[in-house]
Amino acid sequence: MNEEAANADTATDLAFQESPPVALITGAAKRIGATMAKTLHSAGYRVIVHYGHSAKDANALVNSLNNIRPNSAICLQADLCKLEDITRLAEQATAPDAFSLGSNIVHALGSDSDSSVQPANRINVLINNASSFYPTPLGDISANDWQSLVGSNVQGPLFLSQALWPALKASHGCIINMVDMHIDRPLPHHTVYGLAKTALASITRSLAVEMAPEVRVNGIAPGAILWPERELEHDQKQRLLDSIPLGGLGSPEDIANTATFLILAKYITGQIIYVDGGRSLHTNASA
């Protein structure tokens, strides 16, 4: 029996409530985002799995969650670098029939769905997890790099939070932004990514003030949780591991558990929690 099934009784209890809580997680088709979706689903949440290009992974995740609890998960596609996509993502996420179309429905932006219907679906939690991450050595930074890194890490979280503010305010919900431990210690050759995550940290604090008291806004700053999808040399991996006081990589579950804590911590807002094994304290944290 897997962890999801082991928590089925708790999840079922919440599922029978008239309005079970809903979490929208961006970039949730795989890796850390998928783990957060599974964790919240096991706690009784309905989950909206946003994806950009990973349709196959998003479908597989949603189908697995709906096999555990029917009509408890959907996926929505959006390019967070496009403002019109962000607007439609918010409209579809809050549509009255968002979870009523069955387990195999994928809501693709630009489809024939009626976005003119007045929003009714509640949103309790927004996790801005989607993020582009790659090096941009000085001298080679392009406009496309800027659009991709700032779009996914700044524009997406800011404008999606704004679009969902009414729904989150109505539910007294919360927002969790995925920042990065490198907001304090610049990562070499990642200038655009670093400034984007630093901006997101500032957005987190600013929204915490502006959205209070109805909506709480916090951030998580992960360290080395999973190796990047791009291949790293063995020496690079070893230098990184040597810079972690607790030793070794963290796990996606470490991030999901921190998110769960922030959702439940009703008197915490405007804070950024580092989940990095102490790496941000190390003098070689930028290695």
Task: Return d(Cα 120, Cα 212) in angstroms, integer.
Answer: 22
Quickly tell me which residue has 């968002």 as its tokens: 98
User: Are the beta carbons of 68 and 37 closer than 8 angstroms?
Assistant: no
Strands (E), the chain: 22-25, 46-51, 73-77, 106-108, 125-128, 174-178, 216-222, 272-275
Task: Return d(Cα 279, Cα 172) in angstroms, integer.
Answer: 34
Active-site amino acid positions = 193
* Long-range contact pairs involving 113-116 (C-beta distance under 8 Å, separation at least 24): 115/88, 115/91
AA letter at 106: V
Task: Return d(Cα 164, Cα 170) in angstroms, integer.
Answer: 10
Could you tell me which residues come within 8 angstroms of residue 126 by beta carbon, excluding any fewer than 6 positions away? 23, 24, 160, 161, 164, 168, 173, 174, 175, 176
